A and B are shown apart, each in its own frame.
Chain A
Amino acid sequence: MTDKQNNFTQTASTEDIVNLSTFTSVENYDILVLGGGPAGLAAAVSAHENGASVLLIERERRLGGILKQCVHDGFGLLRYKERLTGPEYAQREIDCFLAAEIPYVLESFVVDVRKEGSGYVVCAQSAAGMKAYSCKAIILACGCRERTSRQVFIHGQRSAGIFSAGTAQYFVNIQGKMPTKRCVILGSGDIGLIMARRLTLEGASVVGVYEIKNAPAGLSRNISQCLDDFGIPLHLSTTVTEVLGTQRVEAVAIEKVDTNMNPIPGTREIIECDALILSVGLLPEIELANALDIPIDPATKGPFVDQSLMTQAAGVFACGNVLHVNDLADWVSWSGEIAGENAAKYCRNPRGFFTNKDGCVGGEPVLLQYSKADFLYVVPQYVSSHGPFPLTLFFRSREDVKDKTITLASGGVTLPSEEALQDGKGGGYISKKYRRIIPSEMEALKVKSLGRLGDAVEFRLKME
Protein backbone atom coordinates (compact mmCIF):
# COMPACT_ATOMS: atom_id res chain seq x y z
CA MET A 1 0.00 0.00 0.00
CA THR A 2 1.32 3.39 -0.89
CA ASP A 3 -0.06 6.71 0.05
CA LYS A 4 0.11 8.88 -3.02
CA GLN A 5 0.23 12.10 -1.11
CA ASN A 6 3.31 10.97 0.68
CA ASN A 7 4.99 9.91 -2.49
CA PHE A 8 4.98 13.44 -3.66
CA THR A 9 7.56 16.08 -2.97
CA GLN A 10 5.46 18.09 -0.60
CA THR A 11 4.05 15.75 1.90
CA ALA A 12 1.96 17.43 4.47
CA SER A 13 -1.53 18.85 4.55
CA THR A 14 -1.98 19.49 0.90
CA GLU A 15 -5.32 17.74 0.87
CA ASP A 16 -7.16 20.75 -0.46
CA ILE A 17 -4.51 21.82 -2.90
CA VAL A 18 -6.34 20.76 -5.99
CA ASN A 19 -9.77 21.33 -4.69
CA LEU A 20 -10.59 23.66 -7.53
CA SER A 21 -13.24 25.53 -5.60
CA THR A 22 -10.51 27.02 -3.40
CA PHE A 23 -9.03 28.81 -6.40
CA THR A 24 -10.62 32.03 -7.51
CA SER A 25 -9.62 31.31 -11.08
CA VAL A 26 -8.31 28.35 -13.00
CA GLU A 27 -6.47 29.01 -16.26
CA ASN A 28 -7.26 26.55 -18.99
CA TYR A 29 -4.90 25.32 -21.73
CA ASP A 30 -4.76 22.40 -24.12
CA ILE A 31 -1.25 21.54 -22.99
CA LEU A 32 0.92 22.32 -20.01
CA VAL A 33 4.62 21.90 -20.63
CA LEU A 34 6.43 21.31 -17.33
CA GLY A 35 10.00 22.45 -17.74
CA GLY A 36 11.67 25.17 -19.81
CA GLY A 37 14.91 23.47 -20.86
CA PRO A 38 15.62 22.29 -24.40
CA ALA A 39 12.98 19.53 -24.22
CA GLY A 40 10.22 21.76 -22.91
CA LEU A 41 10.99 24.64 -25.25
CA ALA A 42 10.92 22.39 -28.32
CA ALA A 43 7.80 20.62 -27.08
CA ALA A 44 5.99 23.90 -26.50
CA VAL A 45 6.89 25.25 -29.93
CA SER A 46 5.91 22.06 -31.68
CA ALA A 47 2.62 21.77 -29.79
CA HIS A 48 1.89 25.41 -30.57
CA GLU A 49 2.67 24.93 -34.28
CA ASN A 50 0.30 22.01 -34.28
CA GLY A 51 -2.52 24.23 -33.12
CA ALA A 52 -2.63 23.62 -29.38
CA SER A 53 -2.86 26.32 -26.74
CA VAL A 54 0.19 25.90 -24.55
CA LEU A 55 1.52 27.17 -21.23
CA LEU A 56 5.10 26.44 -20.24
CA ILE A 57 5.91 26.31 -16.52
CA GLU A 58 9.55 26.75 -15.49
CA ARG A 59 10.79 26.49 -11.91
CA GLU A 60 13.95 28.56 -12.35
CA ARG A 61 14.47 32.26 -12.90
CA ARG A 62 15.39 31.81 -16.56
CA LEU A 63 14.53 29.58 -19.47
CA GLY A 64 17.14 27.23 -20.90
CA GLY A 65 17.44 24.56 -18.23
CA ILE A 66 20.82 23.08 -17.49
CA LEU A 67 22.26 24.43 -20.75
CA LYS A 68 22.64 27.83 -19.09
CA GLN A 69 25.60 26.51 -17.14
CA CYS A 70 27.06 24.31 -19.91
CA VAL A 71 29.35 27.01 -21.32
CA HIS A 72 31.41 24.46 -23.27
CA ASP A 73 30.73 23.74 -26.93
CA GLY A 74 29.71 20.69 -28.90
CA PHE A 75 25.97 21.28 -28.91
CA GLY A 76 23.80 21.56 -31.99
CA LEU A 77 25.88 19.62 -34.51
CA LEU A 78 22.86 17.56 -35.47
CA ARG A 79 20.14 20.16 -35.03
CA TYR A 80 21.90 23.28 -36.29
CA LYS A 81 24.86 21.74 -38.14
CA GLU A 82 27.02 24.06 -36.08
CA ARG A 83 29.18 23.68 -33.05
CA LEU A 84 27.44 25.77 -30.39
CA THR A 85 27.98 26.29 -26.71
CA GLY A 86 25.21 25.38 -24.27
CA PRO A 87 24.06 28.97 -23.76
CA GLU A 88 24.07 29.59 -27.53
CA TYR A 89 22.05 26.47 -28.16
CA ALA A 90 19.65 27.44 -25.41
CA GLN A 91 19.34 30.97 -26.77
CA ARG A 92 18.33 29.67 -30.21
CA GLU A 93 15.65 27.52 -28.62
CA ILE A 94 14.52 30.38 -26.40
CA ASP A 95 14.37 32.82 -29.33
CA CYS A 96 12.29 30.38 -31.29
CA PHE A 97 10.00 29.85 -28.29
CA LEU A 98 9.63 33.59 -27.63
CA ALA A 99 8.94 34.28 -31.32
CA ALA A 100 5.98 31.92 -31.12
CA GLU A 101 4.56 34.08 -28.31
CA ILE A 102 3.70 31.08 -26.21
CA PRO A 103 2.69 32.03 -22.67
CA TYR A 104 5.05 30.93 -19.90
CA VAL A 105 5.65 31.46 -16.21
CA LEU A 106 9.05 31.51 -14.48
CA GLU A 107 10.03 30.65 -10.92
CA SER A 108 6.84 28.62 -10.70
CA PHE A 109 7.12 25.31 -8.94
CA VAL A 110 4.57 22.59 -9.59
CA VAL A 111 3.46 21.36 -6.19
CA ASP A 112 0.70 19.05 -7.32
CA VAL A 113 -0.69 17.43 -10.41
CA ARG A 114 -3.90 15.42 -10.56
CA LYS A 115 -6.18 13.75 -13.00
CA GLU A 116 -9.41 15.70 -13.25
CA GLY A 117 -12.12 14.33 -15.54
CA SER A 118 -10.52 13.52 -18.88
CA GLY A 119 -7.72 16.02 -18.33
CA TYR A 120 -5.39 17.21 -15.62
CA VAL A 121 -5.05 19.92 -13.06
CA VAL A 122 -1.69 21.34 -12.10
CA CYS A 123 -1.05 23.56 -9.11
CA ALA A 124 2.03 25.75 -9.14
CA GLN A 125 3.54 27.92 -6.44
CA SER A 126 5.26 31.19 -7.22
CA ALA A 127 5.76 34.67 -5.84
CA ALA A 128 2.40 35.46 -7.43
CA GLY A 129 0.68 32.88 -5.22
CA MET A 130 -0.78 29.43 -5.68
CA LYS A 131 -2.14 29.05 -9.20
CA ALA A 132 -4.24 26.26 -10.67
CA TYR A 133 -4.14 25.32 -14.34
CA SER A 134 -6.29 22.79 -16.11
CA CYS A 135 -5.36 21.07 -19.34
CA LYS A 136 -6.07 18.18 -21.67
CA ALA A 137 -2.49 17.02 -21.86
CA ILE A 138 0.75 17.40 -19.95
CA ILE A 139 4.27 17.23 -21.33
CA LEU A 140 6.82 16.27 -18.72
CA ALA A 141 10.11 17.97 -19.56
CA CYS A 142 11.66 18.26 -16.14
CA GLY A 143 15.09 16.90 -16.95
CA CYS A 144 17.30 14.88 -14.69
CA ARG A 145 19.28 15.13 -11.48
CA GLU A 146 22.71 13.99 -10.48
CA ARG A 147 23.37 10.92 -8.42
CA THR A 148 24.88 11.93 -5.11
CA SER A 149 27.89 10.80 -3.10
CA ARG A 150 25.42 9.00 -0.86
CA GLN A 151 23.93 7.02 -3.71
CA VAL A 152 27.33 5.61 -4.54
CA PHE A 153 28.04 4.96 -0.86
CA ILE A 154 31.05 7.19 -0.31
CA HIS A 155 32.07 6.87 3.34
CA GLY A 156 34.21 8.74 5.80
CA GLN A 157 33.60 12.34 6.78
CA ARG A 158 30.80 14.57 5.62
CA SER A 159 33.02 17.58 5.12
CA ALA A 160 32.61 20.62 2.90
CA GLY A 161 34.08 20.07 -0.53
CA ILE A 162 32.04 17.09 -1.71
CA PHE A 163 30.19 18.38 -4.76
CA SER A 164 28.41 16.87 -7.68
CA ALA A 165 29.93 18.01 -10.95
CA GLY A 166 26.79 19.91 -11.93
CA THR A 167 26.77 21.82 -8.66
CA ALA A 168 30.44 22.68 -9.12
CA GLN A 169 29.59 23.78 -12.65
CA TYR A 170 26.90 26.11 -11.31
CA PHE A 171 29.31 27.58 -8.78
CA VAL A 172 31.94 28.26 -11.44
CA ASN A 173 29.94 29.20 -14.51
CA ILE A 174 26.93 30.95 -13.00
CA GLN A 175 28.16 32.29 -9.66
CA GLY A 176 31.83 32.74 -10.50
CA LYS A 177 32.95 30.92 -7.34
CA MET A 178 35.84 28.51 -7.15
CA PRO A 179 34.93 25.39 -5.17
CA THR A 180 38.42 23.87 -5.20
CA LYS A 181 42.12 24.42 -5.68
CA ARG A 182 43.04 20.78 -5.96
CA CYS A 183 40.42 18.12 -6.51
CA VAL A 184 39.78 14.52 -7.31
CA ILE A 185 36.96 13.71 -9.71
CA LEU A 186 35.08 10.49 -9.19
CA GLY A 187 33.26 9.15 -12.22
CA SER A 188 34.07 9.73 -15.85
CA GLY A 189 30.64 10.99 -16.90
CA ASP A 190 30.68 13.84 -19.39
CA ILE A 191 29.99 16.56 -16.82
CA GLY A 192 32.92 15.32 -14.76
CA LEU A 193 35.23 15.46 -17.78
CA ILE A 194 33.96 18.90 -18.77
CA MET A 195 34.50 20.12 -15.21
CA ALA A 196 38.01 18.67 -15.12
CA ARG A 197 38.90 20.99 -18.01
CA ARG A 198 36.88 23.91 -16.71
CA LEU A 199 38.50 23.84 -13.27
CA THR A 200 41.94 23.44 -14.82
CA LEU A 201 41.33 26.48 -17.03
CA GLU A 202 40.39 28.44 -13.93
CA GLY A 203 43.59 27.53 -12.18
CA ALA A 204 42.67 24.52 -10.08
CA SER A 205 44.66 21.35 -10.23
CA VAL A 206 42.73 18.18 -11.03
CA VAL A 207 44.68 15.29 -9.58
CA GLY A 208 42.87 12.71 -11.61
CA VAL A 209 39.58 11.27 -12.75
CA TYR A 210 38.71 7.94 -11.14
CA GLU A 211 36.23 5.53 -12.66
CA ILE A 212 35.00 2.40 -10.88
CA LYS A 213 34.18 0.66 -14.17
CA ASN A 214 36.77 -0.61 -16.58
CA ALA A 215 35.63 1.79 -19.32
CA PRO A 216 35.01 5.52 -19.30
CA ALA A 217 31.40 6.67 -18.95
CA GLY A 218 31.76 9.83 -21.02
CA LEU A 219 32.26 10.48 -24.73
CA SER A 220 35.72 9.68 -26.05
CA ARG A 221 36.09 13.17 -27.52
CA ASN A 222 35.70 14.53 -24.00
CA ILE A 223 38.39 12.19 -22.68
CA SER A 224 40.61 13.56 -25.41
CA GLN A 225 39.91 17.29 -25.26
CA CYS A 226 39.20 17.61 -21.53
CA LEU A 227 41.69 15.21 -19.98
CA ASP A 228 44.42 14.39 -22.50
CA ASP A 229 44.84 18.00 -23.59
CA PHE A 230 45.59 18.99 -20.01
CA GLY A 231 47.49 15.92 -18.93
CA ILE A 232 44.83 14.87 -16.44
CA PRO A 233 45.08 11.12 -15.80
CA LEU A 234 42.06 8.83 -16.02
CA HIS A 235 42.23 5.83 -13.68
CA LEU A 236 39.86 3.01 -14.56
CA SER A 237 38.70 0.28 -12.15
CA THR A 238 39.51 2.61 -9.29
CA THR A 239 37.16 4.31 -6.88
CA VAL A 240 37.07 6.64 -3.92
CA THR A 241 36.23 4.75 -0.75
CA GLU A 242 36.67 7.34 1.97
CA VAL A 243 36.67 11.08 2.50
CA LEU A 244 39.09 12.45 5.08
CA GLY A 245 38.95 15.83 6.79
CA THR A 246 36.37 16.84 9.37
CA GLN A 247 35.55 20.36 8.26
CA ARG A 248 36.78 20.63 4.68
CA VAL A 249 37.93 17.71 2.54
CA GLU A 250 41.63 17.17 3.22
CA ALA A 251 42.18 13.97 1.29
CA VAL A 252 40.39 11.00 -0.20
CA ALA A 253 41.26 7.34 -0.11
CA ILE A 254 41.20 5.56 -3.45
CA GLU A 255 41.24 1.84 -4.01
CA LYS A 256 41.43 -0.41 -7.03
CA VAL A 257 38.37 -2.58 -7.57
CA ASP A 258 37.97 -6.10 -8.86
CA THR A 259 35.63 -7.17 -11.65
CA ASN A 260 32.71 -7.11 -9.18
CA MET A 261 33.62 -3.54 -8.28
CA ASN A 262 34.69 -4.53 -4.77
CA PRO A 263 37.78 -2.80 -3.41
CA ILE A 264 40.97 -4.87 -3.62
CA PRO A 265 42.70 -5.01 -0.23
CA GLY A 266 46.14 -3.46 -0.14
CA THR A 267 45.51 -1.02 -2.99
CA ARG A 268 44.45 1.87 -0.78
CA GLU A 269 46.14 5.16 -1.50
CA ILE A 270 45.59 8.55 0.13
CA ILE A 271 45.37 11.54 -2.18
CA GLU A 272 45.53 15.02 -0.74
CA CYS A 273 42.90 17.34 -2.15
CA ASP A 274 40.38 19.92 -0.98
CA ALA A 275 37.41 18.61 -2.92
CA LEU A 276 35.82 15.49 -4.28
CA ILE A 277 33.75 16.14 -7.37
CA LEU A 278 31.32 13.46 -8.44
CA SER A 279 30.14 12.63 -11.89
CA VAL A 280 28.51 9.31 -11.13
CA GLY A 281 25.43 9.38 -13.25
CA LEU A 282 22.17 11.15 -13.86
CA LEU A 283 18.64 10.10 -12.96
CA PRO A 284 15.40 11.33 -14.56
CA GLU A 285 13.41 13.63 -12.27
CA ILE A 286 10.26 11.58 -12.07
CA GLU A 287 8.57 13.24 -9.09
CA LEU A 288 5.66 14.44 -11.21
CA ALA A 289 5.36 11.13 -13.01
CA ASN A 290 5.23 9.46 -9.60
CA ALA A 291 2.55 11.85 -8.46
CA LEU A 292 0.45 10.63 -11.36
CA ASP A 293 1.34 7.00 -10.62
CA ILE A 294 2.88 6.58 -14.06
CA PRO A 295 4.79 3.30 -14.46
CA ILE A 296 8.56 3.74 -14.55
CA ASP A 297 10.96 1.63 -16.60
CA PRO A 298 13.61 0.29 -14.22
CA ALA A 299 16.07 0.32 -17.13
CA THR A 300 15.77 4.01 -18.04
CA LYS A 301 14.48 5.16 -14.62
CA GLY A 302 12.04 7.25 -16.65
CA PRO A 303 8.42 6.57 -17.65
CA PHE A 304 7.48 3.87 -20.14
CA VAL A 305 6.36 5.55 -23.36
CA ASP A 306 5.04 4.55 -26.76
CA GLN A 307 6.36 6.04 -29.97
CA SER A 308 4.22 9.15 -29.59
CA LEU A 309 6.17 9.61 -26.32
CA MET A 310 2.96 9.24 -24.37
CA THR A 311 3.38 7.60 -20.99
CA GLN A 312 1.05 4.96 -19.61
CA ALA A 313 -1.24 7.75 -18.44
CA ALA A 314 -3.45 8.97 -21.30
CA GLY A 315 -2.50 12.52 -22.23
CA VAL A 316 0.76 12.64 -20.31
CA PHE A 317 3.83 12.81 -22.54
CA ALA A 318 7.50 12.76 -21.61
CA CYS A 319 10.54 14.05 -23.46
CA GLY A 320 14.17 14.90 -22.93
CA ASN A 321 16.09 13.71 -19.91
CA VAL A 322 13.05 12.92 -17.80
CA LEU A 323 12.36 10.17 -20.32
CA HIS A 324 15.91 8.82 -20.34
CA VAL A 325 19.25 10.49 -19.91
CA ASN A 326 20.52 11.62 -23.32
CA ASP A 327 24.11 12.31 -24.38
CA LEU A 328 23.17 15.15 -26.70
CA ALA A 329 20.93 18.16 -26.29
CA ASP A 330 20.02 17.71 -29.94
CA TRP A 331 18.21 14.48 -29.16
CA VAL A 332 16.52 16.15 -26.23
CA SER A 333 15.08 18.89 -28.46
CA TRP A 334 14.10 16.34 -31.01
CA SER A 335 12.15 14.29 -28.49
CA GLY A 336 10.47 17.50 -27.34
CA GLU A 337 9.23 18.08 -30.87
CA ILE A 338 7.82 14.57 -31.09
CA ALA A 339 6.07 14.90 -27.76
CA GLY A 340 4.73 18.37 -28.61
CA GLU A 341 3.33 17.33 -31.96
CA ASN A 342 1.68 14.22 -30.60
CA ALA A 343 0.30 15.97 -27.54
CA ALA A 344 -1.34 18.49 -29.86
CA LYS A 345 -2.83 15.66 -31.93
CA TYR A 346 -4.04 14.02 -28.77
CA CYS A 347 -5.78 17.22 -27.68
CA ARG A 348 -7.63 17.47 -30.98
CA ASN A 349 -8.95 13.94 -30.72
CA PRO A 350 -8.10 12.05 -27.56
CA ARG A 351 -10.28 9.07 -28.37
CA GLY A 352 -9.08 8.75 -31.91
CA PHE A 353 -5.48 9.17 -30.87
CA PHE A 354 -3.43 6.15 -31.29
CA THR A 355 -3.07 4.92 -27.75
CA ASN A 356 -2.63 1.85 -25.69
CA LYS A 357 -5.25 3.00 -23.25
CA ASP A 358 -9.00 2.42 -23.32
CA GLY A 359 -10.53 3.66 -26.51
CA CYS A 360 -7.55 2.91 -28.66
CA VAL A 361 -8.00 2.40 -32.37
CA GLY A 362 -6.14 -0.64 -33.51
CA GLY A 363 -2.45 -1.21 -33.79
CA GLU A 364 -2.17 -1.22 -30.06
CA PRO A 365 1.40 -0.49 -29.02
CA VAL A 366 3.11 -3.55 -27.65
CA LEU A 367 6.07 -3.80 -25.38
CA LEU A 368 9.22 -3.99 -27.45
CA GLN A 369 11.20 -7.07 -26.52
CA TYR A 370 14.97 -7.03 -26.24
CA SER A 371 17.66 -9.01 -24.53
CA LYS A 372 18.90 -7.41 -21.33
CA ALA A 373 22.24 -9.02 -22.03
CA ASP A 374 22.62 -6.99 -25.22
CA PHE A 375 20.89 -3.72 -24.38
CA LEU A 376 20.84 -1.48 -21.34
CA TYR A 377 17.58 -0.01 -22.55
CA VAL A 378 15.49 0.91 -25.54
CA VAL A 379 13.18 3.92 -25.85
CA PRO A 380 10.31 4.02 -26.68
CA GLN A 381 9.43 0.89 -24.82
CA TYR A 382 6.11 0.41 -26.67
CA VAL A 383 5.89 0.20 -30.45
CA SER A 384 3.00 0.10 -32.88
CA SER A 385 2.97 -0.53 -36.59
CA HIS A 386 0.33 2.19 -36.91
CA GLY A 387 2.71 4.95 -36.00
CA PRO A 388 3.21 7.72 -35.50
CA PHE A 389 6.24 7.77 -37.74
CA PRO A 390 9.07 8.24 -38.10
CA LEU A 391 9.90 6.07 -35.15
CA THR A 392 13.37 6.44 -33.74
CA LEU A 393 14.55 3.75 -31.39
CA PHE A 394 17.12 5.02 -28.95
CA PHE A 395 19.21 2.38 -27.33
CA ARG A 396 22.34 1.77 -25.34
CA SER A 397 24.29 -1.47 -25.53
CA ARG A 398 25.23 -3.19 -22.32
CA GLU A 399 28.78 -3.96 -23.44
CA ASP A 400 31.37 -2.40 -25.66
CA VAL A 401 30.72 -4.37 -28.87
CA LYS A 402 32.09 -4.31 -32.41
CA ASP A 403 30.58 -5.09 -35.81
CA LYS A 404 27.01 -5.68 -34.77
CA THR A 405 23.79 -5.51 -36.70
CA ILE A 406 20.75 -4.15 -34.96
CA THR A 407 17.50 -5.48 -36.35
CA LEU A 408 13.89 -4.73 -35.56
CA ALA A 409 11.89 -7.91 -35.98
CA SER A 410 8.28 -8.93 -35.51
CA GLY A 411 7.76 -12.40 -34.20
CA GLY A 412 10.22 -14.49 -36.15
CA VAL A 413 10.02 -12.19 -39.16
CA THR A 414 12.38 -9.34 -39.84
CA LEU A 415 10.30 -6.48 -41.08
CA PRO A 416 10.56 -5.06 -44.55
CA SER A 417 10.60 -1.30 -44.40
CA GLU A 418 9.02 0.92 -46.99
CA GLU A 419 11.99 3.19 -46.90
CA ALA A 420 14.38 0.36 -47.30
CA LEU A 421 12.35 -1.12 -50.11
CA GLN A 422 12.21 2.21 -51.85
CA ASP A 423 15.83 3.15 -51.62
CA GLY A 424 16.83 -0.43 -52.03
CA LYS A 425 19.75 -0.16 -49.66
CA GLY A 426 18.79 -2.03 -46.53
CA GLY A 427 18.05 -5.26 -48.31
CA GLY A 428 14.44 -4.84 -47.33
CA TYR A 429 14.98 -5.11 -43.63
CA ILE A 430 14.98 -2.64 -40.81
CA SER A 431 18.44 -3.21 -39.70
CA LYS A 432 21.61 -1.23 -39.39
CA LYS A 433 25.21 -2.20 -39.12
CA TYR A 434 27.34 -0.63 -36.44
CA ARG A 435 31.10 -0.70 -36.41
CA ARG A 436 31.20 -0.20 -32.69
CA ILE A 437 28.59 0.38 -30.01
CA ILE A 438 29.58 1.45 -26.51
CA PRO A 439 27.32 1.84 -23.48
CA SER A 440 28.26 5.47 -22.94
CA GLU A 441 27.08 6.50 -26.39
CA MET A 442 23.41 6.34 -27.18
CA GLU A 443 22.51 5.10 -30.64
CA ALA A 444 19.46 5.96 -32.71
CA LEU A 445 17.79 3.63 -35.19
CA LYS A 446 15.38 5.49 -37.40
CA VAL A 447 12.33 3.70 -38.77
CA LYS A 448 10.34 5.64 -41.32
CA SER A 449 7.47 3.23 -41.40
CA LEU A 450 6.57 -0.26 -40.44
CA GLY A 451 4.90 -0.68 -43.80
CA ARG A 452 1.98 -2.95 -44.37
CA LEU A 453 2.57 -4.87 -41.27
CA GLY A 454 -0.94 -4.53 -39.93
CA ASP A 455 -1.54 -5.03 -36.26
CA ALA A 456 1.71 -6.64 -35.29
CA VAL A 457 1.62 -8.09 -31.83
CA GLU A 458 5.26 -8.67 -31.15
CA PHE A 459 8.36 -6.63 -31.80
CA ARG A 460 11.89 -7.51 -30.91
CA LEU A 461 15.13 -5.56 -31.18
CA LYS A 462 18.04 -7.84 -31.87
CA MET A 463 21.78 -7.43 -31.78
CA GLU A 464 23.67 -9.94 -33.91
Chain B
Amino acid sequence: MEIICIVCPNGCRMEASGEGGNLQVSGNLCPKGIDFAKAEITAPMRSLTTTVATVFPESPRLPVKTRSEIPKGKVMEAMAKIRTVVVHEPKKVGDVILPDVFGTDIIATGELAR
Protein backbone atom coordinates (compact mmCIF):
# COMPACT_ATOMS: atom_id res chain seq x y z
CA MET B 1 0.00 0.00 0.00
CA GLU B 2 1.05 3.57 -0.61
CA ILE B 3 1.70 5.74 2.41
CA ILE B 4 2.58 9.40 2.18
CA CYS B 5 4.93 10.32 4.96
CA ILE B 6 3.77 13.42 6.82
CA VAL B 7 6.78 13.71 9.11
CA CYS B 8 8.47 16.43 7.08
CA PRO B 9 7.71 18.57 4.02
CA ASN B 10 9.46 16.08 1.73
CA GLY B 11 6.24 14.06 1.88
CA CYS B 12 7.85 10.85 0.69
CA ARG B 13 5.55 8.52 -1.18
CA MET B 14 6.35 5.19 0.40
CA GLU B 15 5.31 1.70 -0.51
CA ALA B 16 4.71 -0.67 2.37
CA SER B 17 4.34 -4.43 2.03
CA GLY B 18 4.40 -7.38 4.37
CA GLU B 19 3.13 -7.55 7.93
CA GLY B 20 4.26 -7.15 11.51
CA GLY B 21 7.98 -7.80 11.82
CA ASN B 22 8.27 -8.41 8.08
CA LEU B 23 7.07 -4.98 7.06
CA GLN B 24 9.03 -3.73 4.07
CA VAL B 25 9.04 -0.01 3.34
CA SER B 26 10.49 1.63 0.26
CA GLY B 27 10.51 5.14 -1.12
CA ASN B 28 11.50 6.79 2.18
CA LEU B 29 14.34 9.31 2.19
CA CYS B 30 15.10 8.84 5.89
CA PRO B 31 14.56 6.25 8.66
CA LYS B 32 11.71 8.29 10.14
CA GLY B 33 9.66 7.17 7.20
CA ILE B 34 9.88 3.52 8.24
CA ASP B 35 8.71 4.32 11.76
CA PHE B 36 5.89 6.39 10.37
CA ALA B 37 4.80 3.66 7.99
CA LYS B 38 4.83 1.07 10.76
CA ALA B 39 2.74 3.24 13.02
CA GLU B 40 0.42 4.10 10.20
CA ILE B 41 -0.35 0.43 9.63
CA THR B 42 -0.61 -0.65 13.26
CA ALA B 43 -1.73 2.39 15.26
CA PRO B 44 -1.77 5.63 13.34
CA MET B 45 -1.07 8.69 15.47
CA ARG B 46 -1.63 12.38 14.77
CA SER B 47 -0.73 15.59 16.44
CA LEU B 48 -3.69 17.91 16.82
CA THR B 49 -3.45 21.67 16.57
CA THR B 50 -6.35 24.00 17.25
CA THR B 51 -7.32 26.99 19.38
CA VAL B 52 -9.16 27.54 22.64
CA ALA B 53 -11.38 30.39 23.74
CA THR B 54 -10.05 33.11 26.02
CA VAL B 55 -11.76 35.83 28.01
CA PHE B 56 -9.55 38.50 26.49
CA PRO B 57 -11.34 40.53 23.80
CA GLU B 58 -8.02 41.55 22.20
CA SER B 59 -7.08 37.87 21.73
CA PRO B 60 -10.26 35.81 21.73
CA ARG B 61 -8.40 32.62 20.75
CA LEU B 62 -5.21 31.00 21.99
CA PRO B 63 -3.49 28.46 19.70
CA VAL B 64 -2.83 25.06 21.28
CA LYS B 65 -1.58 21.61 20.36
CA THR B 66 -1.21 18.13 21.76
CA ARG B 67 2.19 17.81 23.41
CA SER B 68 2.65 14.46 21.70
CA GLU B 69 0.61 12.57 19.18
CA ILE B 70 -2.74 11.00 19.96
CA PRO B 71 -4.49 8.14 18.21
CA LYS B 72 -5.79 9.28 14.84
CA GLY B 73 -9.25 7.94 15.65
CA LYS B 74 -9.49 10.11 18.76
CA VAL B 75 -8.93 13.45 17.04
CA MET B 76 -12.58 14.47 16.94
CA GLU B 77 -13.16 13.41 20.53
CA ALA B 78 -10.12 15.42 21.58
CA MET B 79 -11.58 18.42 19.77
CA ALA B 80 -14.78 18.08 21.78
CA LYS B 81 -12.81 18.10 25.03
CA ILE B 82 -10.65 21.05 23.98
CA ARG B 83 -13.71 23.00 22.95
CA THR B 84 -14.93 23.16 26.54
CA VAL B 85 -11.86 25.15 27.66
CA VAL B 86 -11.90 28.89 28.29
CA VAL B 87 -8.60 30.50 29.25
CA HIS B 88 -8.80 33.18 31.95
CA GLU B 89 -5.12 33.81 32.62
CA PRO B 90 -2.15 34.99 30.53
CA LYS B 91 -0.21 32.08 29.06
CA LYS B 92 3.20 31.36 27.63
CA VAL B 93 4.19 28.91 24.90
CA GLY B 94 4.26 25.41 26.43
CA ASP B 95 1.87 26.10 29.33
CA VAL B 96 -0.55 23.26 29.93
CA ILE B 97 -4.07 24.27 28.97
CA LEU B 98 -5.83 20.96 29.44
CA PRO B 99 -4.09 17.95 31.02
CA ASP B 100 -4.47 14.31 30.10
CA VAL B 101 -6.21 14.22 26.79
CA PHE B 102 -5.74 10.71 25.40
CA GLY B 103 -2.49 10.36 27.22
CA THR B 104 -1.01 13.76 26.54
CA ASP B 105 -1.50 17.40 27.47
CA ILE B 106 -2.95 20.22 25.47
CA ILE B 107 -0.38 23.00 25.59
CA ALA B 108 -0.33 26.62 24.47
CA THR B 109 1.57 27.35 21.27
CA GLY B 110 1.22 31.11 21.47
CA GLU B 111 1.63 33.88 24.00
CA LEU B 112 -1.41 35.32 25.67
CA ALA B 113 -0.67 38.64 27.28
CA ARG B 114 -3.13 40.36 29.54
Contacts and interface: CB of A to CB of B under 8 A. Distances in A.
Q: Does a CB–CB distance below 8 Å link A and B in the complex?
A: yes
Given A73-B65, A174-B61, A91 B111 contact: yes
B101 interface: no
Interface string B55-86: 00000110111000000100110010000000
A428 interface: no
A173 B63 contact: yes
A173 B51 contact: yes
Nearest to A64: B110
Contacts of B111: 87, 91
A70 to B, nearest CB: 9
Interface in B14-68: 46-51, 53, 60-61, 63-65
Interface in A195-219: 198, 201-202, 219
A229 B49 contact: no
Most interface-central of B10, B61, B79, B109 (chain A CB within 10 A): B109
Contacts of B75: 201, 229
Interface of A is mostly: helix
B50 A71 contact: yes
A175 B51 CA distance: 10
Interface residues of B, number: 29
A327 B9 contact: yes
A168 B59 CA distance: 17
B110 A91 contact: yes
A324 to B, nearest CB: 17
Nearest to B52: A176
Interface stretch (A220-228, A257-265, A334-342, A348-356): A220-228
A87 B11 contact: no
A229 B76 CA distance: 12
Nearest to B63: A71
A132 to B, nearest CB: 30
A83 interface: yes
Contacts of A86: 63
B6 A221 contact: yes
Nearest to B60: A176
A193 to B, nearest CB: 12
Q: Which 7 residue pairs of A and B lie closest in terms of their CB atoms, listed nearest first?
A: A87-B110, A221-B11, A220-B11, A224-B4, A71-B63, A221-B6, A85-B109
9 contacts: A68-B110, A71-B64, A72-B49, A85-B109, A87-B111, A173-B63, A224-B4, A224-B11, A328-B9
